[in-house]
Amino acid sequence: MPSVYIHIPFCLTKCTYCNFYSVTRCGELPLFLDCLRRELRLRAADWTFGPLSSLYVGGGTPSLLSPGEIQRLLEEVAELYGLQEGAEITLEANPNHLTEDYVRTLRDTAINRLSIGVQSLSDEVLRRIRRQHTARQAEDALAFAEKYGFTNLSADLIYGLPGSSLAQWERDVRRLSRLPHLSCYQLTLEEGSALQRQCAKGLERLPSEEETDRQFACLLSLLSEAGFTRYEVSNFCKGEAWSRHNMAYWEGEPYFGFGPGAHSFVPHRRRWNVADVARYAAALSVPVPTDTSWYEEELLTPDMEYEEYVMLGLRTFRGCELERVRRQWGEERLRHLLAQLRLFPASHYRLSAGRLVLTEEGLRFADAVAASLFV
Ligand code: SF4
């Protein structure tokens, strides 16, 4: 499942909770796109994993690009890296960009999956976190996507947002549970975010922990009723509508990431680009780049690879394959894993069909369980 991720690190404004790498200097987009194309060409010779099964354009706000610009980018990736027949090609989009015209034109591109940043269907909540769109625009965006045949649709939602309530959250989840895929995250107060500063000054207040827990419990119950599987800690789908791109990440498949801040992973090696548009552009805006300070890389030791495999695998419904642990990291490692597991209540995990999978209860402690298996 080889894949490519393209990071478009531009946003019109910053949402208060956000600490993803993005800048609001949208005038630099054309220069950035030239540099991105150069990076695509520069690294193509290093790609030895065959045609891509998934391609993901994320951000930032990739829907700041016109459908024409997106299509040119996709064609360039397809030409340089190859695309499998039926590859999943996702665009992350903000609802205010998905006007009827935009979606209709997007239908003529190779994009076949949309991940829409809805976050909430309450105007009051959206205003407090400074999203660029209204609830109406989010509803319209989904309706246009459905109208123009995007069946592989996902929405992002956040629980525990300022101004949110259980009743409003329940209404939002019910409305969105018609979609095949939802990504639902708990708000985290990120160090350095505007929201964190607002809260520190007493200008904003988050719901209590109990209220956030109630929203989460409500989410699990409504989505289970609606036929969703929780296939990763924060991701839910109907049938097999999981994000193939994200599953490939979590299962340790190779991927290249392009653009500032993007990460790449291939066996035994990880690489990441500087999260800095100016440095990225300075290095890549010349015809033959010689400066290599726009990325860093590291070789992964067997221990690092094991930790990554366990940490990511335990977050998914497929869990970790015990035979793979034995084959790749040895009998001793497998024995240790099984011994450490006994420190946790049996209700936290199950061992079946040769896999270690966390139960719903265990998923609440996924990181702690994984960390204890490394000791
Ligand atoms: S649109 Fe997304 S990436 Fe941009 S500021 Fe908001 S949350 Fe962050």
Residue 247 near residue 312 (C-beta atoms within 8 A): no
User: What are the tens digits of pLDDT across the range 64-93?
Assistant: 999 999 999 999 999 999 999 999 999 999
Residue 342 shares a structural domain with residue 234: no
- Domain membership flag for residue 267: no
Give residue-wise pLDDT tens across range 199-235: 999 999 999 999 999 999 999 999 999 999 999 999 9
Q: Of ligand 1's atoms, which has the minimum distance to the CA of residue 131?
A: 6
Residue finishing a domain among 218, 249, 280: 249
Residue 23 belongs to some domain of the structure: yes
pLDDT, one tens digit per residue, over 8-37 is 999 999 999 998 889 999 999 999 999 999
Q: Look up the CATH number of the domain holding residue 308.
A: 1.10.10
pLDDT number for residue 375: 66
* pLDDT above 70 coverage of the chain, percent: 100
Pocket, ligand 1, Cβ cutoff 6 A: 11, 14-15, 18, 20, 22, 59-61, 94, 117
pLDDT at 92: 98
DSSP annotation string for 74-90: HHHHHHHH-EEEEEEEE
Overall domain count for the chain: 2
Same domain, 157 and 218: yes
Looking at residue 190, what DSSP letter applies? -
Question: Which residue carries 């719901």 as its tokens?
Answer: 207
273 within domain boundaries: no
Domain range holding 84? 3-249
What lies within 8 Å, CB to CB, of 161 at 6+ separation is 17, 119, 120, 125, 128, 129, 187, 206, 207
74 and 192 both lie in a single domain: yes
Same domain? 236 vs 306 = no
- Inside any domain, residue 255: no
User: Do residues 313 and 196 share a domain?
Assistant: no
173 lies in some domain: yes
Among protein residues, the one whose CA lies closest to atom 5 of ligand 1: 14
Contact 95, 133 (CB under 8 A): yes
In a domain, 254, yes or no: no
CA–centroid distance, 192 to ligand 1, in Å, is: 14
Q: Of 234, 249, 264, which marks where a domain is finished?
A: 249
Q: Do both 197 and 307 map to the same domain?
A: no
DSSP state of 22: -
pLDDT band at residue 367 under the 50/70/90 scheme: confident
Determine the atom of ligand 1 nearest the C-alpha atom of 94.
1
pLDDT computed for residue 81 by the predictor: 98
Of 49-53, 153-157, 182-186, 338-342, give the lowest mean pLDDT range.
338-342
Q: Assess contact for 196 and 189: CB atoms under 8 A.
A: yes
Nearest residue (by CA) to ligand 1, atom 7, is 18
Give the model confidence (pLDDT) of 244-302 as tens digits: 999 999 999 999 999 999 999 999 999 999 999 999 999 999 888 888 899 999 999 99
Q: How far is the CA of 320 from the centre of ligand 1 (A)?
A: 32
Say what the pTM is.
0.95
308 and 236 together in one domain: no
Residue 40, H or E segment: helix 29-43
Residue keyed to tokens 């939602």:
157
Are 134 and 240 within one domain?
yes
* Domain annotation covers residue 137: yes
Atom of ligand 1 nearest to the CA of 19: 8
Same domain, 310 and 187: no
One domain, residues 318 and 179: no
Q: Which of 207, 226, 249 is the last residue of a domain?
A: 249
Could you tell me the pLDDT band of residue 371, with boundaries at 50, 70 and 90? confident
105 in a domain, yes or no?
A: yes
